[in-house]
Structures are given as C-alpha cells and as structure tokens.
Amino acid sequence: MGFVYGAGTVYYDFVIFLSPSSKYVRDEQESMETDDPSSGSDHGKPAKPRKIDDPSSSTEQRKQANQMETDDPPSSSGKGKADCSSLFRAARYELDRIMKRHNMHFIYKFEVVKNQFQRFVGNQYFTGSKICKRGGNGWGTLGGFMQNQTGVFGFTCDHVIRAETVEDVDIYPQPESEVTTALGTTEPTFGIRVGEIQDFELIDISATKVNATETTKCTIEFVDNNGRVKQWYINNSSQLQRKTVFKHGARTNLTEGIVVSSDMWLHETDSDDDYLVMVRPKTNEEPFAQEGDSGSFIFMMNVGSHDAEGPKIGLISVLFGGRMSTYAGPFTDLEGDTNASEEQMDDSTSGGDEGAIGGVEFLGAQAGDDNTISVRLNVALRELGRKNPNLVF
C-alpha cells in the first residue's frame, strides 16, 4: 500500500498513518477499478452510494450514504476534505481486501499525516558555543544574545575578539564542528575594557553584530541548567552570597558554583566601584571555569518566581578570569586571652596538613580552590552603551 506512511500501536489503538499524496490515491483508485480482470465491468469497484434525494433509494441505502458522507475527517477546506475522503476510501478498500485474502480481521484507525518527520539537525546558536575572531590566536565563549532596534548581538569578552578594524567573528556550534560559520562582525567601538589592574581589565565585554542571514539561528532566550530555553532578566541584587550559580562554558560546559562575594573590588584600579562577583566551585572535584570560558554569562535560577512558565533565569555577570587561590586560617586575638588564642589555634591545626604554622594552613592550591572573577552584567552593558549608543539594551 504505497500511500501508507507508517503504522503502529498508538496508546491502545493500532493506527495506520496515510500519506496525503494525490499520486498514491490516483494509483490505488485505478487499481481498485482494474484489480480483477475476470470480473464484469462493475465488479471490484467500490460501491457508490445513491444520492440521498434519489426516490428509488431505500431507507438502508440512505443511511449508508449518510454514513459514508459523514465518515470523512474534518478539514479546513472542501478540497482537503475531499482528498482525505478519497484517501480513506482507497485505503479502507485495499486493507479490507488484504484482510479478506488472508482470512483475518483486526480493528484499526486511520490518520492522515499532515507533516512528515524531519531531522532535528541544524546549527542553532546557543550560549556556551566557542567563539573567536577570524584569524585570531585565541577563543572564548559565547555568553548570549541580545536584540535591540539595530539588530541582534552576541556577547563575549573583549580580550577574546578585540578588533582593530571591522573584523569577522566565527562561531563553532556545540558540539564543536570543523566547519566555522561567520556569525557576524565586530569593530573597535563594539568592545570595552576599563578598570585596569596589572595586565588585564575588570570590565571586559565585546559585542558581535550578527549577520542578517544568521539572526534566525540565534537563540535570544537563555538555556538553563537543565538544558531548557527560558526567558531571562538581569539580576542586580547585591545579596548573592552563598547563592548557587551556573555557567555554560566552551571549555568546561555546564558547571555549578557558589557566590562568595558580590561586591568585590581590587586594589590599584582606576575605579573603586564594587561591581565584581567572585565564585568558587560547588565541589572540589572540578573547577568552575578554565581557559576558554571567558565570556560566559554567570546565571542563577529565580526559584521565587511565580511565573506561569516556571523559574526565570537571572543573568548576573560576565566571567573573564580566575585561578586566584587563597590560604585560610583562624582569627586570633593576640591582645586578648592567650589561652583562648592557643586553644583556637590548636583546634585549627589538629589533623591539618604538614606545614601548618600558627593556625594558618599553607596548603597546595587545588582545582577546587580556584576563585573566578566576573563583572556585573548591568555594569558592563552600561559602560558599553556609553561608548556606543547602538549597544544599549
């Protein structure tokens, strides 16, 4: 039966899915009329009900005619209804003939396939993809997309795609492909670095103007920690200590961390704003971020949201550096009770690693001890908008 697209048990019914191809309907209708060459001209043809208003029709014939006319599936157009009706009659006739030939019978249902199955392959761009400047030496992470009246823009760190002129930016969809796609272009006014300390800057963000041919592939929504696409907002709260956060990185993929400071500032910068967020990994088994994760948006789930679609994503900051490790020890009051101080020191050093001096343990840095640093997203976007009015979101 060429017009059968597929069949299977759907819930508790055996369903035969029919392909709405007019070619199959025509072929099957022709076979219905010429299937039995030894029979008379009318034998083998489906019985055509008489018109309801035919006075010679019996009551039973009228009922059969009405049943056949109302047995068609609903359709939005008369033509579609007629096509489905033809398909149903052809399929029913052919199936009944097969069952009769094999002396069997079973209950079945027909459904006409409106849209056939399609492969879910594509190059949709999501947060966490690998991004780089064409011809550049390094790569980073696509933090996310935003849109305004001038177009769609993708974001990462400026030290990843810093441009001297108008330059192309490539993106590698995850999982990484050997073929790169020109996501768009960047230029000097699309990036900013301020708050300089040593040999890197604290506000470090850059935008890529997405090519018109690629905008439909950009996911403006954000992917949460469960891989679901959700709406987002920029979280400006200063009370984030001990909050669980996540990030999608091109190097380490999805990782989980704990905010240990949401108002950090560093010495010897040209700004005293406390707009930095420091995150530690949730466990010591893996770092929160590594090289290649620069540009990741750090986010948290707004579990208190009463939105009908569930918790929204709160974007907090843009990750740009890490690997800061610290040594920790107890507080001691040297001018206070000596016994109390000694007792406190003894408690802290008991069972400690070799090399503990005066209650301060000098431990080797581990991956899980790394602190990552990021800049508040609202601050970075504010500074970027001041530099280029087209980058106001």
- Mind listing the pLDDT tens digit for each residue in 256-301? 999 998 888 776 555 556 788 999 998 877 889 999 999 999 999 9
- 112, HSE (Cβ side, Cα atoms, 13 Å): 23
State how far the Cα of 244 lies from the Cα of 260, in Å rounded to an integer: 10
Q: Which of the residue ranges 155-159, 173-177, 228-232 would you say has the lowest mean pLDDT?
A: 173-177
Mean pLDDT along residues 140-157: 95
- In 194-225, which positions are buried (b, 16+ CB within 10 angstroms) versus exposed (e)? bbeeeeebbbbbbbbbbbeebeebbeebbbbb
Question: Are residues 162 and 85 both part of a single domain?
Answer: no
Rounded Cα gap, residues 222 and 254, in angstroms: 13
Map tokens 């599936």 to a residue: 73
H or E element at residue 313? strand 312-324
**pLDDT given for residue 268 in this prediction:** 55
Q: What is the pTM of this model?
A: 0.62
Last residue of a domain, one of 187, 217, 247: 217
- Considering the chain, what percentage of its residues have pLDDT values greater than 90? 33
pLDDT above 90 (res 142): yes
pLDDT at 167: 93
Question: Phi/psi of residue 191, each to 5°?
Answer: -130, 155
Question: Is 388 a domain residue?
Answer: no
Which residues sit opposite 16 in a β-bridge? 7, 110
Please report the pLDDT score of residue 171 as a whole number. Answer: 85
- The phi, psi pair for 128, rounded to 5°, reads 95, 0
Mean pLDDT to the nearest integer, 56-65:
48
| Angstrom distance (rounded) from CA 93 to CA 274 | 78
The verdict on residue 123 lying in a domain is no
Query: What is each CA distance from 344 to 69, 191, 369, in whole angstroms?
Result: 92, 50, 24
**DSSP assignment of 196-224:** EETTEEEEEEEEEEE-GGGGGGB--SEE-
What rounded mean pLDDT belongs to the chain? 74
Over range 160-176, report the average pLDDT.
84
- 265 shares a domain with 140: no
User: Which amino acid type is present at position 207?
Assistant: A
Q: Among the ranges 85-99, 269-283, 295-309, 344-358, which has the highest mean pLDDT value?
A: 85-99
Q: Are 78 and 200 within one domain?
A: no
Q: What are phi and psi of 230, to 5 degrees?
A: -140, 165
Are both 167 and 35 inside the same structural domain? Answer: no
Can you name the residues that pair with 43 across neighbouring β-strands? none
Residue 245 near residue 279, CB atoms below 8 Å: yes
My answer on whether 163 and 19 are in the same domain is: no
Please check whether residues 24 and 105 belong to one and the same domain: yes
Say whether 256 sits in a helix, a strand or coil: strand
Tokens describing residue 208: 């890529």
The pLDDT value recorded for residue 347 is: 38
Closest alpha carbon to 93 in 32, 166, 27:
32
User: What pLDDT band is residue 246 in, cutting at 50, 70 and 90?
Assistant: very high
At 125 the pLDDT is 85
Two tokens at 379? 């601050």
User: Do 228 and 213 belong to one domain?
Assistant: no
Write the pLDDT tens digit of every residue in 325-348. Answer: 766 655 454 444 444 433 333 333
- Which residue has 């009769």 as its token pair? 100
Q: Confirm whether 16 is domain-assigned.
A: yes
Q: Is residue 83 part of a domain?
A: yes
Q: Are residues 239 and 355 in the same domain?
A: yes
Give me the pLDDT at residue 120, please: 60
User: Per the structure block, which two tokens stand in for 112?
Assistant: 């006409």
CB 260 within 8 A of CB 277: no
Tens of pLDDT, residues 3-54: 888 999 988 899 988 887 645 444 544 444 444 434 333 433 444 444 444 4
- What pLDDT, on the 0 to 100 scale, is given for residue 49? 41
189 occurs within a structural domain: yes
Residue 32 counted as domain residue: yes
Nearest to 319 by CA among 352, 278, 347: 278
Number of domains in the chain: 3
Residue 164 structural domain: 130-217
Examine the domain organization and report whether 273 and 294 are in the same domain.
yes
**Does residue 323 carry a pLDDT above 80?**
no
CATH number reported for the structural domain that contains residue 363 in this entry: 2.40.10.10
Domain boundary (158, 186, 217) is at 217
Asked whether 129 and 142 are in contact (CB, 8 A), the reply is yes
Among 71-85, 134-148, 208-222, whose mean pLDDT is lowest?
Answer: 71-85
* Helices 22-34 and 78-101, axial angle in degrees (round to 10): 50
Residue 255 in domain: yes
Helix (H) or strand (E) holding 67: helix 59-70
pLDDT score recorded for residue 269: 55
Question: Looking at per-residue confidence, does 351 or 336 come out higher?
Answer: 336
Look-up of token digits 């679901």 = 228
355: amino acid identity, one letter: G
Q: Would 162 be classed as within a structural domain?
A: yes
Are residues 208 and 263 located together in one domain of the fold? no
The confidence band for 82, taking pLDDT boundaries of 50, 70 and 90, is low
Which of 195, 217, 239 is the last residue before a domain boundary?
217
pLDDT digits 0-9 by tens, 172-221: 865 556 656 789 999 999 999 876 544 556 789 999 999 999 998 898 99
Judgement on whether residues 158 and 19 belong to the same structural domain of the protein: no
91 in the same domain as 140 = no
DSSP class of residue 51? P
Q: Which residue from 87, 72, 68 is spatially nearest to 21, judged by alpha carbons?
A: 87
